[in-house]
Amino acid sequence: MQYFGTLLDMDDEQAAAELGEADLVARDITKCLLQVKNGDPLQRRAGARTLGKKVSAWGARPVLDQLLPLLRAHSLEDEERHSLVKVLDRLLLEL
């Protein structure tokens, strides 16, 4: 809830109408990270692929601002941490 609570506040159409560009980018990044963290293997792959394709357009700062606090969470299981570290590695290669 701490990291993904912004996704529960409003649906995508409301967010597009009310939020600014930076908030929409943060929301998209959060959605992709949620797919990587909690999704089944196909969702994880899709989330990682989306992050990899859009990281150059979004920039490193917004992605790392969302990803690094999530990696430091003590509540992560080993599988979730492993998936997020793989995504981080691929994102660094893209940058």
What is the residue range of 59's domain? 6-94
Q: Per the structure block, which two tokens stand in for 2?
A: 């701490």
Give helix 60-71 / helix 21-38 axis angle, nearest 10°.
40
In a domain, 19, yes or no: yes
Q: Alpha-carbon distance 56 to 60, whole Å?
A: 7
Q: What is the 3-state secondary structure (H, E, C) of the chain?
A: CCCCCHHHHCCHHHHHHHCCHHHHHHHHHHHHHHHHHHCCHHHHHHHHHHHHHHHHHHCHHHHHHHHHHHHCCCCCCHHHHHHHHHHHHHHHHHC
> Would residue 1 count as lying in a domain?
no
> In this structure, which amino acid lies at residue 1?
M
* C-alpha–C-alpha distance, residues 89 and 87, integer Å: 5
Could you list the pLDDT tens digit for every one of the 95 residues in the chain?
577 777 777 766 676 677 778 888 888 898 999 899 888 999 999 999 999 899 989 988 999 999 999 899 888 899 989 999 999 998 888 88
Count the domains in the chain.
Answer: 1
